[in-house]
Amino acid sequence: MPTIDHNLLRKLAYDVYRAMGAPDAQARLVSDYQVETNLIGHDSHGCIAVPRFVNDIRSGKLVPDAEPEILHRDGPTALMNGHRSFGHYSASNATDLAITVAQELGVGTVGIQNCNHVGALWGYVERIVNANMVALIICSAGPRGGMVVPFGGIKPALGGNPIAFGAPSKTMSPLICDISTAAVAGGKVLIALQNGDPIPDDWALNADGKPTTDPGEYMTLELETIGAMRGFGGHKGYAIALFAEILGAMLTGYGAAYRDDYIEGNGTFVIAIDIARFVDVDIFRAQVDAYFQAVKSVPCSEGTNEILIPGELETRAREERQRDGIPFLDGTWQTISDTAAELGVDIQAE
């Protein structure tokens, strides 16, 4: 299992994207965002996607030098066309716009259509939280035909449809939660497939709608879907997934995953709420701290060592991986390094 220094990994991803025609700004933003995602431990959405984006550029699905466009802005709302640019680039632009609008008007809401895969939502939420705002980001997420079965179903009709939210605290780690409304992120199934590992039998169904532990019965290494993912949270998670696709797909005009003309990507809806419009920011942050401390002081159940606030594990992982390096399973690293070598990009693994 190779361990890669985060600075070397940034250079690898940056050099790959530059070799594929991405301008400096786009290549740097996307590579930095992916490595930051690896640093916080969300490996399913980090540099595992480097080969995918290379293939998407080659197929024309991703236009590496495209610029997102604000189609219109009306008061606290705006709609952006990503023009098939890097999804991370489109989402970063939308996040910055939502913050700016919220600073002006108290609330900023930005939808993105024609947008490629935006990666983990964690970093966009963190950016809003660091601006002393409350964040909510919702995405629709394919592939075409859907990837998640509705509650009680055996065939896919919904996208993976992640939802993320966050709020700042004072001295403790802020609340940042980023979850898929599928039972698990598709990237985790891909990692298992790349490394020949089984998956839990409550993650996915095969083409016949039966539970499977074989990741190859859900997807191929080329990211084609064969089976379907289960949803999370039973009927409650199913309702959240429906709502996420309504906001991410319909409200943005992106289009839902079940449609035959769906182009894989993320219809994305970003909301930033300026805390100062409601309550003094210092008071709010102190109250959040006190709340977190009360929650964490609850006695632990058997087998639990600590009550955690969403975002704490990521903060700890970032410190550890910045110091010790980012570990990759052999099969996943081989896929990334093969893509880099094909483009004449090299990196040394420890």
CA distance 42 to 123: 11
Q: How far is CA 104 from CA 74, 272, 284, in A?
A: 13, 11, 20
Tell me the pLDDT band of 308, cut-offs 50, 70 and 90: very high
pLDDT digits (tens, 9 = 90+) for 256-297: 999 988 988 999 999 999 999 999 999 999 999 999 999 999
Per-residue confidence at 185, pLDDT binned at 50, 70, 90?
A: confident
Nearest CA to 43 among 195, 160, 157, 166?
195
Instruction: Please state which architecture CATH assigns to domain 66-182+231-276.
Output: 2-Layer Sandwich (3.30)
**Domain residue limits, the chain:** 1-65+330-350, 66-182+231-276, 184-230
| Model pLDDT for residues 69-78, shown as the tens digit of each residue | 999 999 999 9
Q: Please report, as a single letter, which amino acid is at residue 325.
A: G
In whole angstroms, give the CA distance from residue 133 to residue 130.
7
Scan for tokens 């990837």, then name that residue: 147
Q: For the chain, what percent of residues have pLDDT higher than 90?
A: 93
Q: How many CA atoms lie within 13 A of 84 on its CB side?
A: 12
Cβ pair 302, 284 in contact under 8 A: no
- Please choose, from the candidates 47, 322, 90, the residue with its C-alpha nearest in 3D space to the C-alpha of residue 190: 47
Least confident of 63-72, 102-111, 136-145: 136-145
What integer is the mean pLDDT of 162-167?
A: 98
Secondary structure of 35-103 in HEC code, one letter for each residue: HHHHHCCCHHHCHHHHHHHHHHHHHCCCCCCCCCEEEEEECCEEEEECCCCCHHHHHHHHHHHHHHHHH
pLDDT at 176 > cutoff 90: yes
pLDDT average, residue stretch 6-15: 96
Across residues 300-305, what is the average pLDDT? 95
Q: How high does pLDDT run on average in the chain?
A: 95
How confident is the model at residue 349, as a pLDDT? 53
As given in the structure block, the two tokens for residue 48 are 């595992």
What is the C-alpha separation between 136 and 220, in angstroms, rounded? 32
pLDDT digits 0-9 by tens, 29-42: 999 999 999 999 99
CB 148 within 8 A of CB 161: yes
The answer to whether residue 350 scores a pLDDT higher than 80 is no
What is the C-alpha R_g of the chain?
20
Provide the CATH number for the domain formed by 184-230 in this structure: 3.30.60.50
Question: Residue 331 has which token pair?
Answer: 């099969």
Statement: residue 187 has pLDDT above 90 = no
Q: pLDDT-based confidence at 188, cuts 50/70/90?
A: very high
**pLDDT reading at 317 higher than 60:** yes
d(CA 69, CA 220): 34
Question: Residue range 145-160: average pLDDT?
Answer: 94
Mean pLDDT of 141-148: 90
Residue type, 266: N
Indicate the pairing of strand 69-74 with strand 77-81.
antiparallel
CATH topology of domain 1-65+330-350: Hypothetical Oxidoreductase Yiak; Chain: A, domain 1 (1.10.1530)
